Structure 1
Amino acid sequence: MRDLRNDGHNASYVVTDASHPEDTARAARHLVEVHGRLEAAFNNAGVGGDRHCSTSWTTPCTTP
């Protein structure tokens, strides 16, 4: 983030939890407030390692 800003770019981030849709809405509001508009978004959530997850966003992942 600091490198982007040092290079003259307008950058920000919002910490969210993909299992909470209101977090995504909050992030979109932040982007519009700070940057004036939102032209495109890619909401990518993933898990790594030996986690076993259901297809439901409301069911937590477990480790074996």
Structure 2
Amino acid sequence: MEKHRHCLNCGISIPPDETFCSEKCKDEYIKKRKRIMRAQLIVLFVIFVVLVIFVWLRG
């Protein structure tokens, strides 16, 4: 079996010096990552707001 990697987006075999199989896959991966990062920021913001409200109500 020759050395290879897998596309980070779709998982197909690619040469070991590549990260994605195509520009389309690269763009899709970047969009997914941005969406995940946005969701994580929203969750962190909600947790922060809940903590602030909790501390404010106990104070």
Q: Which category describes the TM-score, using the shorter chain as reference length?
A: under 0.3
TM-score by length of 2: 0.28
Larger Rg: 2
- Would you tell me which structure has more strand in proportion to its own residues? 2
TM-score by length of 1: 0.26
- Would you tell me which structure has more helix in proportion to its own residues? 2
